[in-house]
Chain A
Amino acid sequence: MIDIENISKWYGDFQVLTDCTTQVAKGEVVVVCGPSGSGKSTLIKCVNGLEPVQQGRISVDGDDVTAKGANLTALRSRIGMVFQHFELYPHMSVLENLCLAQEKVLKRPRAEAVTRAEKLLDRVGMADHAAKFPSQLSGGQQQRIAIARSLAMDPIAMLFDEPTSALDPEMIKEVLDVMVELAQEGMTMMVVTHEMGFARKVADRVIFMDNGAIVEDRQTAAFFDNPESERAQDFLSKILDH
């Protein structure tokens, strides 16, 4: 469903992505990990065109994201994205956060958007908080709402950019639980995360990146039990031991 072919990207003279190629099939869950600055976040931001690439081609469900004049707004509305810092609209109630893009982008009637929003809030366990504002909620609650906000658009795939990195430890689980459930329901997901427990549990594949390049791209069990590259072995030994 997501096809990334030989993409390279530069910020000025600095190359952030080097010839990355991978695919994500429908219903597949792929975890992207690697040291900071390795280009993981940049890679998934290229998938919905938030970051342009200078070389290579990305297509999602057959639509070319990297083509000149691609209808990015239509495409983006079909790909959900969850950010490290939630990015809920602070001036809107939780309910309005979920309704805005439904009404303005998908042109859903108000009543339908509200019904859909309430159903999703209930699903992520936030039904009682619909009238609150984001800043009145904990990080974990905000992130669950951010996930619900993306799901309200009925996405064909979901991108997660370090969804638990800004959370207090005791809130990580409530967010991961929602994500695990989503994965088990067959959602196509690309997840940048350091949560290796999550990766082991639900990921079909793990991509390991270093210095802007994909170093390993393997089945989850094979990646954890028998990483090929020295860089990945080193990375795993450091983050699994603590």
Chain B
Amino acid sequence: MNYNWNWGVLFEEQYLNWLISGFGWTISVALSAWCIAIVIGSLVGVGKTVPNKVIRGICATYVEIFRNVPLLVQMFIWYFAVPEMLPEDWGRWMKRDLPNPEFVTAVVALGLYTASRIAEQVRAGIETVPPGLSAAATAHGLSTAQTYRYVLLPISFRIIVPPLTSEFLTVFKNSSLALTIGLLELTAQSQQIAEYTFQGFEAFTAATVIYVCIALVATILMQVLEKYTRIPGYVGKEA
């Protein structure tokens, strides 16, 4: 193979700035989407366990739709199809006046998709709590809302920290799909550097290293969270 290695391009000011900017967009998209996903995922996950059948049905439908359609398709639908389906004024606003349309669309698409996955984990966490505990809370006069707030959710969120860690890592990796709707995040910037310099190996190696570093930091953060919220002697091994 005849390839001229040149790691130096990565540190040329223009390309370095592209990488930094891409890194910034990746972090922004992933963290914004994560916030949406945690809020909606928790609500939908709780909704799948409440006694009311209508709410359970709505939440189950949400999960099945958003979890079963490929994320890439969802990105395209939000970006290309939704503005056409809305009333004309709204659609025009989305296409013309929405600030940072690629960013906003990517955050919404990734957030709602990840929410459906988090909802399933929240539901599973709640169902793992022994039923006797909510019976005890009910027997002491706590309302259904209070039982969730003080007993079911604090326990189930601790139980699901490990699977949530995987989900947290996935949201960074999935954010790379935003390049398909034109957001210049990390993968898009690497691709651009490769096209400008013909140094594809270096460009994508840089992206790889940055993704791995993000993942390591995210994992460490979640481990700290797990350790900090651990119930003494309850679940998991003692650290």
Contacts and interface: CB of A to CB of B under 8 A. Distances in A.
Interface stretch (B23-31, B99-107, B151-159): B151-159
A91 interface: yes
B216 interface: no
Contact of A81 (B139, B143, B232): B139
A57 interface: no
Interface centre among A91, A135, A136 (most CB of B within 10 A): A91
B231 A76 contact: no
Interface in B223-239: 231-234
Contacts of B139: 48, 50, 76, 79, 81, 83
A240 interface: no
Contacts of B143: 73
Contact of B133 (A87, A136, A149): A87
Contact of A101 (B132, B142, B154, B233): B142
Given A133-B231, A133-B232, A135-B234, A50 B138 contact: yes
A105 B142 contact: yes
Nearest to A132: B232
- The CB with the most chain A CB atoms within 10 A, among B133, B141, B155, is that of B141
B231 to A, nearest CB: 5
Interface residues of B, number: 22
B35 interface: no
Nearest to B143: A73
A104 B232 contact: no
A91 B154 contact: yes
B155 to A, nearest CB: 5
A83 B234 contact: no
B129 to A, nearest CB: 9
A150 interface: yes
Contacts of A48: 139
B135 interface: yes
Nearest to B136: A87
Contacts of B141: 73-74, 76-78, 101, 105-106, 153
B96 interface: no
Contacts of A146: 136
Interface in A150-186: 150, 153
A31 B188 CA distance: 73
A78 B234 CA distance: 30
A133 B232 CA distance: 7
B150 to A, nearest CB: 6
Interface in A94-112: 100-101, 104-106
A192 to B, nearest CB: 14
A49 B1 CA distance: 78
16 contacts: A50-B138, A73-B143, A76-B138, A79-B139, A83-B136, A87-B132, A87-B135, A89-B133, A90-B133, A91-B155, A91-B231, A91-B234, A101-B140, A104-B142, A135-B231, A136-B232
Interface of B: 130, 132-133, 135-143, 146, 150-151, 154-155, 158, 231-234
Leading 6 A-B pairs by shortest Cβ distance: A77-B141, A87-B136, A135-B233, A101-B140, A105-B141, A81-B139
Given A106-B141, A135-B231, A135-B234, 5 more contacts: A73-B143, A76-B138, A81-B139, A83-B135, A101-B141
